[in-house]
């Protein structure tokens, strides 16, 4: 029979053809909260993944709803750059009461933009990567939801493309906070100098990328979107005296510079 559940932090599991056994759970030092990477929810994981008992897709949709509360805008429609930010865009649209409309369609035959060897090729890649559904947004004010803006050079040509195809206004809303710090836990985040959030252009980011406005989700907004249903489930478990997993925590180091362990260098 197929077996599926999450392996707990610190759990040692033995899998054989007969069964799956927990050999031991190495406990965290008393009082230390867990520090699950919050960017797994934002970007890395597949939307159908389940972490901490919740589906990544649902968390991304909640991030979009939270973004609509924090950063509404006068507009005609909500869309996204296909398709990693679609759940967040649907959440934003639902909360704002605006229609979700596709403005770009993906060309299936073009490689990934971020592995192109230089800027010029990356930007050309963007133009080849998407087809424009101009009938859907001509003369309209568009909100584009993105899941993260890291360097700022992918969204720029997309905004240009939308404007040239008849968009009246283009507002960017980012369903995660700006990445400002390196990750020392094994994720290859660009250098501090490459991160748009640390560059002088960030102070006038809308102008730099050619948008009418840009707003990122707050760190508190992201954390609450991620933890809301975990807390509700823990409260229910506590009421029924089931096992309590421990103090809730997520690693936000790349966003806040607050690392979950002491860095020894």
Domain enclosing residue 175, as ranges: 73-217
- Global confidence as pTM: 0.88
In a domain, 241, yes or no: no
Q: What is the pLDDT of residues 97-106, one digit of tens each?
A: 999 999 999 8
SS3 of 21, please? strand
Structure tokens at 42: 């934002």
**Tokens 């967040």, residue located:** 88
In a domain, 24, yes or no: no
Structure tokens at 255: 């966003």
Categorize the per-residue pLDDT at 46 as very low, low, confident or very high, splitting at 50, 70 and 90.
Answer: very high
For residues 46 and 66, give the distance between their C-alpha atoms in angstroms, rounded to a whole number: 21
SS3 of 211, please? coil
pLDDT score recorded for residue 117: 56
pLDDT score recorded for residue 150: 93
* CATH number of the structural domain spanning residue 197: 3.40.50.2020
Asked if 142 and 132 count as a contact pair (C-beta separation under 8 A), the reply is no
In a domain, 166, yes or no: yes
* Backbone torsions φ then ψ of 3, nearest 5 degrees: -125, 130
Choose the weakest-confidence range: 29-33, 138-142, 196-200, 201-205: 29-33
Contacts of 144 (CB under 8 A, 6+ apart): 79, 80, 81, 103, 155, 158, 159, 162, 170, 171, 172, 173
pLDDT score recorded for residue 82: 92
Domain total for the chain?
A: 1
In a domain, 18, yes or no: no
Contacts of 199 (CB under 8 A, 6+ apart): 193
Give the pLDDT mean for 143-157. Answer: 94
Structure tokens at 190: 């660009």
């Amino acid at each position: 029979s197929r077996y599926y559940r999450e392996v707990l932090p610190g759990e040692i599991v033995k899998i054989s053809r007969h069964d799956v056994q927990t050999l031991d759970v190495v406990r965290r030092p008393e009082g230390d909260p867990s520090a699950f990477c919050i960017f797994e929810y934002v970007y890395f994981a597949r939307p159908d993944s389940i972490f901490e008992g919740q589906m990544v897709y649902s968390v991304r949709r909640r991030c979009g709803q939270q973004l609509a509360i924090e950063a509404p805008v006068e507009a005609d429609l909500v869309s996204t750059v296909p398709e990693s930010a679609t759940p967040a865009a649907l959440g934003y649209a639902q909360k704002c009461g605006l229609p979700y409309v596709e403005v770009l369609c993906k060309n299936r035959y073009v490689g990934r933009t971020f592995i192109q060897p230089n800027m010029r090729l990356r930007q050309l890649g963007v133009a080849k990567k998407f087809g424009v559904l101009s009938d859907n947004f001509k003369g309209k004010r568009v909100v584009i939801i993105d899941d993260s803006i890291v360097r700022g050079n992918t969204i720029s040509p997309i905004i240009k493309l939308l404007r040239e195809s008849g968009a009246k206004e283009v507002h960017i809303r980012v369903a995660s906070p700006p990445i400002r710090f390196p990750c020392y836990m094994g994720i290859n985040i660009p250098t501090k100098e490459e991160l748009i959030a640390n560059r002088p252009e960030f102070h006038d980011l809308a102008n730099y990328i050619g948008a009418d406005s840009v707003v990122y989700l707050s760190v508190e907004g992201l954390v609450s979107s991620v933890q809301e249903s975990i807390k509700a489930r823990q409260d229910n478990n506590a009421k029924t005296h089931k096992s309590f997993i421990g103090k809730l925590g997520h690693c936000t180091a790349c966003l806040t510079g607050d690392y979950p362990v002491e860095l020894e260098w």
